[in-house]
Amino acid sequence: MGKMPRISGREMMQFLQRRGFSVVRIRGSHHVMTSGSVQTSVPVHGNQSLKTGTLRKILRDVDLTPAEFEALLNP
């Protein structure tokens, strides 16, 4: 596996919404999304890319490996 893909917070929100997540609340730039008992927070700062650690944390929250995420992102 190579580098993690560069994706913005807005693009991550769209990806999660396609996977069945919905926005529960917004506080500042942090959008809390949930699907059943799974919850994660996605920071949206314009078109800035998510930092690698933040992206990895979101993927851990939604139980996806980086390889699975990359496969689903680019079908």
Q: Tell me: the pLDDT tens digits for 8-61?
A: 999 999 999 999 999 999 999 999 999 999 999 999 998 999 999 999 999 999
Binned at pLDDT 50, 70 and 90, residue 4 comes out as confident
Asked if residue 1 belongs to a domain, the reply is: no
pLDDT of residue 2: 62
In a domain, 3, yes or no: no
Token readout for 40 is 């994660």
Over residues 50-70, the pLDDT tens digits come to: 999 999 999 999 999 999 999
Residue 38 sits in which domain range? 9-73
Classify residue 13: in a domain, yes or no. yes
Question: Can you read off the two tokens belonging to residue 53?
Answer: 């650690």
Q: What is the pTM of this model?
A: 0.90
What is the domain-level CATH number for residue 15? 3.30.920.30
Task: Let me know if residue 62 belongs to a domain.
Answer: yes
Question: Does residue 4 sit within a domain?
Answer: no
Distance CA 38, CA 57 (A): 13
Q: How many domains does the chain have?
A: 1
